[in-house]
Amino acid sequence: DVKVTQSSRYLVKRTGEKVFLECVQDMDHENMFWYRQDPGLGLRLIYFSYDVKMKEKGDIPEGYSVSREKKERFSLILESASTNQTSMYLCASSSRWEGAATGELFFGEGSRLTVL
């Protein structure tokens, strides 16, 4: 069964702490994504990566950074957590786009972060 695994389902951190959210996929996918999900706002793209060591900013990258040292792993980093980063974070992966055959995203179960 294909899988995207996020390391922590629930985290509670304090303002100013450095936070790491880890994501691992076992499908040998080239593309990986980090989204933030907030009520009424849907999913907003933070960063994505289309290859090892490659990263691109999404719609809301401010306050976040990412790391992709291995193909299967994509990490989201909050250098100094703030209360407005309290949210659900979703990791996803997909195969490299090849016409109509792909495009489907596979999601992890999410990491709910609370910053106090």
| Tokens 């999601």 -> residue | 107
List residues bridging with 106 in a β-sheet. Answer: 93
93 binds other proteins (CB under 8 A): no
Give the residue among 43, 18, 42, 8 at the shortest CA–CA distance from 113: 8
Q: Which of 90, 93, 113, 115 binds other proteins (CB under 8 A)?
A: 90
Q: List, in order, residues 6 or more apart from 106 with CB less than 8 Å away.
A: 2, 3, 4, 25, 27, 29, 92, 93, 94
Count the neighbouring beta carbons within 10 Å of the beta carbon of residue 7: 15
Q: How far is the CB of 102 from other proteins (least distance, A)?
A: 7
Residue 37-76 contact track with other proteins, rule CB under 8 A, x = bound: ---xxxx-x--x---------x------------------
3 binds other proteins (CB under 8 A): no
24 binds other proteins (CB under 8 A): no
Q: How many residues touch other proteins (CB under 8 A)?
A: 25
105 binds other proteins (CB under 8 A): yes
First to last CA, the chain: 36
Which residues bind to other proteins, rule: CB under 8 A? 4, 31, 33, 35, 40-43, 45, 48, 58, 90, 92, 94, 96-97, 100, 102-105, 107-110
